Structure 1
Amino acid sequence: MRRPVLWVGVALLALVSTGCSSNTSGMSAKDAAAPPQAAQQKAPQQENAGQAAVQPVQEQERQLVRTATVDLRSDDVLKAIGEIKNRATAAGGFAGQENSTKNSGSVTVRVPSAELDRLVRDLTSVGDVTRSEVRSEDVTDQLVDVEARIATQKASVDRLRVLFERAGTTAEIAQVESELTKRQAELESMQRRSESLKGKVALATLTVQVATVPIAPPKPDEPGFLSALAGGWNALVTVLGGILIAVGAVLPFVMVLGVPAAVVLYLLRRRKRVTRMNEAA
């Protein structure tokens, strides 16, 4: 009697895992087997619990991933990059990738998100800021979704561990252990995703490009006669190239099928002409 129950439990857990994003994924086997009256009594409680779970999500602080890019002009590139790294460290961050020469360079630092705006403003004392851009990406919904999936996956892993302890035969142990390993790997992947998002929210990324001369933004191409002529010539070359490719693709078929067809057509016309001449004679 214990083996069928164990197989049924594994099957139920597999079904629950495929629908972890639905509203009914958290229903246990006991709730599913409960009579209709009991289910009706539990419905208001589940609805209140769902509202209590959604309320903190709506009221919580928005989780933002912040990044900034600054172009800086300085007579001493190496000194400016060193000053930027020191200020990032003093703000509670750290320096990341750096690539610098005597005339130009760049450095990427990670600083607490709350310190990003102040650090960008203070860069004016390091050199001449020619361009500054700050961006924010809201990942609140992603974090809420990942945390909900982690909670569901943890419950699934715990239930599988209980079934693993109750397994009696080698086949049961192998099947439950395989499913448990799969669920555990998925849980660890979700946890790494959550930690990565939280890390990006906690620490903003600042990239500073430093040069001895102002870094000019790329100029858009101005339309003119020469540019229009060049564009038309490129279009013509492209069309001719396409035609040549099509001819090259059709030519083998013409050689194989066209030549015999032409010979047959020539013989038929000659025979018809000879027949007419005989009839006239």
Structure 2
Amino acid sequence: MGRPVLWVGVALLALVSAGCSSAKDSGTSAGYNAAAPEAATQKVAPQQGNPQEKAPAPAAVQPVQEQERQLVRTATVDLRSDDVRKAVSQVKDRAQGAGGFAGQENTTSTYGSVTVRVPSNQLDTVVDGLEQVGEVTRREMRSEDVTDQLVDVEARIATQKASVERLRVLFERAGSTTEIAQIEGELTKRQSELESMQRRSESLKGKVAMATLTVQVSTTPLAPPQEKKAGFGGAFAAGWDALGTAFRWITVGVGGLLPFLLVLGVPAAVVIYLLRRRRVTRTNEAA
């Protein structure tokens, strides 16, 4: 009898302790809830009392930081130099010194043209340094913003990667030969599209990273490119030029066919003449 009474006493003691703990937690929670509005009121009160201390609205909501623009930069420079080959060599040396490399080159004793690739952030420095190579007669720089294209391509790449992964999972779970063939064909197609997008992205990034500089060197100043005339006069001039070009091509074509006409056309005309004469003679004899 003693042990059951002891266990009952222990159980009653545990229940009483749990009740006291719950009451204590409830009281603490209620006190915290009651104090919270008061604390909030105390925090807001100074701002309401002094409007000048209010934080400006734009500071509360920071705008999304604009993405850095991705620019494809190109430049064209015309130089006049007495030594064309030396000037072209100096242009290539300056490009390599800036971390770039030389591309297409066409050089004679009186004219030279070279295309180099330099880091985009070094393009202005390289172009400015060309004044020490020769006399700058023309300088043109352009920038093309490809940020939207890169963002679009990267988004497509991410989507295509997810699609390829889903197809790979389905390929592993395929049970029949037909399912395997269908999924494998679609997986190959999407993988090819993904690789094409990745090459497009790498190409754009390469153009952004490395600017293209074309330098033309001549012993005499090069004539600047003529601007296209707009309006009726420009259209008339363009049409007249087109007519002259067409006439020249027709003349060239006739000149090319004339030897064949002389070699083949004259004998053919003689044969036709003899055949007709013979036919007329036979007709007269029959009559």
The answer to whether TM tops 0.5 is yes
- Please tell me whether the aligned partners of residues 80 and 136 of structure 2 are also in contact (alpha carbons under 8 angstroms): yes
Q: Which runs of 5+ in 2 are unaligned?
A: 1-62, 248-287
For each residue in 1:73-94, what CA deviation from the matched residue of structure 2 results, as whole angstroms up to 9, or x when unmatched?
0000000000000000000000
- Correspondences of 1:15-54 after superposition (within 5 Å): none
What TM-score do you get using the length of structure 2 for normalisation?
A: 0.57
Does 2:128 align with 1:121? Answer: yes
1:63 to 67, 70, 92: 70
SS at match of 1:176: helix
Distance 1:81 1:196 in 2: 27
Displacement of 1:217 after TM fit?
1.9
Displacement of 1:221 after TM fit?
10
SS at match of 2:197: helix
Does 2:121 align with 1:80? Answer: no
Distance 1:112 1:198 in 2: 12
Aligned partner of 1:164 in structure 2 is 171
1:208 to 183, 199, 215: 215
SS at match of 2:77: strand
Aligned partner of 2:188 in structure 1 is 181
Aligned partner of 1:109 in structure 2 is 116
| Structure-2 change in CA distance of 1:221 and 1:65 (3 Å) | closer
Displacement of 1:148 after TM fit?
0.3
Aligned partner of 1:148 in structure 2 is 155
Aligned partner of 1:264 in structure 2 is none
Distance 2:195 2:162 in 1: 14
Does 2:107 align with 1:100? Answer: yes
| Structure-2 change in CA distance of 1:219 and 1:165 (3 Å) | closer
Number of corresponding residues = 176
What TM-score do you get using the length of structure 1 for normalisation?
A: 0.59
Displacement of 1:59 after TM fit?
1.8
Distance 2:228 2:75 in 1: 27
| Structure-2 change in CA distance of 1:219 and 1:170 (3 Å) | closer
Aligned partner of 1:247 in structure 2 is none
Which amino acid counterpart does residue 145 of structure 1 have in structure 2?
A: D
SS at match of 1:69: strand
SS at match of 2:118: strand
Which amino acid counterpart does residue 213 of structure 1 have in structure 2?
A: T
Distance 1:218 1:98 in 2: 21
Which amino acid counterpart does residue 72 of structure 2 have in structure 1?
A: V
SS at match of 2:220: coil
Q: Considering only aligned residues, what root-mean-square deviation do their CA atoms show, in Å?
A: 2.8
Q: Which runs of 5+ in 1 are unaligned?
A: 1-53, 239-281
| Structure-2 change in CA distance of 1:218 and 1:139 (3 Å) | closer
For each residue in 1:38-91, what CA deviation from the matched residue of structure 2 results, as whole angstroms up to 9, or x when unmatched?
xxxxxxxxxxxxxxxx94xx6221000000000000000000000000000000
Aligned partner of 1:136 in structure 2 is 143
Rg larger in structure: 2
Displacement of 1:215 after TM fit?
0.4
Consecutive aligned runs of 4 or more in structure 1 exceeding 3 Å deviation: 218-224
Displacement of 1:216 after TM fit?
1.4
